[in-house]
Chain A
Amino acid sequence: MAETRSGRTRQGRYSALALLRHGVTGNAWSPAWRSHELKTRYQVIIIGGGIHGLATAYYLARNHGITDVVVLDKGYLGGGGSGRNTAILRANYLTPEGVRFYDRSLELYGKLAEDLNFNVMFSRRGHLTLAHSDASLRTMRWRAEVNKVCGVDSDVIGPEDVKQIVPDMDTTEAARYPILGALYHPPGGTVRHDAVVWGYARAADSLGVHLQQDTEVTGIDVSAGRVTGVRTTRGDIAAPIVINATAGWATLVADMAGVRLPVQTFPLQAAVTEPVKPFLRTVVVSGTLHVYVSQTARGELVFGASVDPFASYSTRGSLEFTEGLAGHVLQLMPSLAKLRLLRQWAGLCDMTPDFAPIMGPTNVDGFLVDVGWGTYGFKAGPVAGEAMAECVATGRTPQIISSFGLDRFAQGCLVGEKGAAAVGH
């Protein structure tokens, strides 16, 4: 623990006073995390330096005192799904398993800035999921009732209320897909995704976790049904526990250990506009129009869509997406017609058959997965890290993720979250 304390002291706490001191003296800030030699042996290897891998490392160290942990990333920290999502948080899912799980994540997000001593800019601005058909309104009612039973604040509201919350929304009946109502979820909101990654990385580092970037895993060693270590582009590492916390490459990494996953990888495209004055208070989602919109603190509008129509590992943007997105956004808010797009990008989504994640042990002893995060991985980062850390430390699968095991597909016990996860973010 001496290393922990010295690490924290050396790094210093972020505070208004520290900001003032650095401003006055002009002293450079020390790096948020350190670099270490790659050891040949660790107690736990985590593959994937995104929010899931880093959160798992942090909670292993903080909640369970396991600090002999390394996080490996083939690129840079937060360069995959963690830096490409649209940073929307919510807990208004459809199944009780899902609602409880994501609600715990929201709870952790709520105190994350204080917990990590890093401003993650969580803005609890509310979340609107629009219904344009009787069928989707029925699903909203269903979701609202499940949410209420689980103690999550969600309600179905009418078009007048929608207009009050978002005055720029076209709520007339002349719209091609008139708005019949919406699921309103006040605790939802947005967060700054890079800050969450950096905050977890800094906090994990100060507790003694090693973060190794530019370190690609090329193989996983399994002997007599037990994982023994991994091979990387920088040398071999031995460990009794290996966690696959990758997104986009989850099947390829699992294949190295001989574990097959019910996962298909699809790109999901997003785009951002030039900044304008704040006018959009909440997150707005339309499943029918395949779009979700929020405004960042800088004033840009962030747009996301549903996944591309075919499986691919390519992150190239497509014109079809931009055209479709622009048309759909203008149907919701015609006043945005003159806004220009600044850029578009794609991230990889590991889709599962039931739109729920795959977490916990596999048939290879010591090889755990935290994968299949589809289009909902970022909002689950904190709770997934907490649960995976508990899973490693106690050797038992925590109750909160017991429905998300890999064995559910062989047993036919799917979770069925598509109604709340397919486009709604």
Chain B
Amino acid sequence: MILLPCPWCGPRDSEEFGYVGEIGARPDPRTATQQQWRDYLYLRRNVAGWASERWYHRMGCRRYLVIERDSTTNEIRQSRPETPRSKP
């Protein structure tokens, strides 16, 4: 079992969470070119190692959070609340 530290609920089983994915900068839809927008939609860094990613505590507080996880070992370093301007 993998425990995820929810900033609001404390350490909880990862099964309670939904994995949203890696955090990338979202281009402004009003000014982005088609190429930039499709890169944003589809391309992934797919980091092997430490990365920040977005999770959703769907069976708990139902809030979004940002977790730092090593994708090669699933070790978790820290979590913080999701803010509207979470940057990589």
- Nearest CB in chain B to that of A266: its residue: B19
> B19, A309: Cβ atoms under 8 Å?
yes
* Residues A313 and B38 in contact in the complex (CB < 8 Å), given A263-B46, A265-B46: no
Q: Interface residues of A, CB < 8 Å — how many? A: 23
- Nearest CB in chain B to that of A310: its residue: B19
- B8 → A minimal CB distance (Å): 20
> A320, B15: Cβ atoms under 8 Å?
yes
Give chain A residues whose Cβ lies under 8 Å from the Cβ of B19.
309-311
Interface residue from A260, A313, A410 paired with B72 (Cβ < 8 Å): A313
> B48, A313: Cβ atoms under 8 Å?
yes
A409 to B38, CA, bound (A): 7
Give chain A residues whose Cβ lies under 8 Å from the Cβ of B71.
265, 311-314
> A410, B74: Cβ atoms under 8 Å?
no
* Residues A409 and B44 in contact in the complex (CB < 8 Å), given A314-B74, A316-B74, A319-B1: no
Could you mark each residue 18-49 of chain B with 1 if its beta carbon is under 8 Å from any beta carbon of chain A, else 0? 11011000000000000100110111111010
Give chain B residues whose Cβ lies under 8 Å from the Cβ of A312.
71-72, 74
Give chain A residues whose Cβ lies under 8 Å from the Cβ of B2.
318
A55 to B18, CA, bound (A): 38
User: Is A96 interfacial (CB 8 A cutoff)?
Assistant: no
Give chain A residues whose Cβ lies under 8 Å from the Cβ of B35.
410
User: Is B73 interfacial (CB 8 A cutoff)?
Assistant: yes
- B38 → A minimal CB distance (Å): 5
User: Is B14 interfacial (CB 8 A cutoff)?
Assistant: yes
User: Is A261 interfacial (CB 8 A cutoff)?
Assistant: yes
* Residues A311 and B46 in contact in the complex (CB < 8 Å), given A316-B74, A320-B1: yes
> A252, B44: Cβ atoms under 8 Å?
no
Interface residue from B1, B42, B46 paired with A251 (Cβ < 8 Å): B46
Max chain A Cβ within 10 angstroms of own Cβ: one of B22, B35, B71: B71
> B1, A262: Cβ atoms under 8 Å?
no
A410 to B36, CA, bound (A): 9
Give chain A residues whose Cβ lies under 8 Å from the Cβ of B72.
312-314
> B43, A261: Cβ atoms under 8 Å?
yes
User: Is A353 interfacial (CB 8 A cutoff)?
Assistant: yes
Could you mark each residue 233-262 of chain A with 1 if its beta carbon is under 8 Å from any beta carbon of chain B, else 0? 000000000000000010110000000111
* Residues A251 and B44 in contact in the complex (CB < 8 Å), given A264-B21, A320-B1, A320-B15: yes
Give chain B residues whose Cβ lies under 8 Å from the Cβ of A309.
14-15, 18-19
Q: Which of A369-424 contact B (CB under 8 A)?
A: 409-410, 412
Going nearest first, the 3 A-B pairs with the smallest beta carbon separation are A310-B19, A262-B42, A251-B46
Q: A263-B46, A311-B19, A311-B22 are in contact. List 8 more A-B contacts (CB 8 A).
A: A251-B44, A260-B39, A263-B44, A265-B48, A309-B19, A312-B74, A314-B73, A410-B39
- Listed in ascending order, the chain B residues whose CB lies under 8 Å from chain A are 1-2, 14-15, 18-19, 21-22, 35, 38-39, 41-46, 48, 53, 71-74
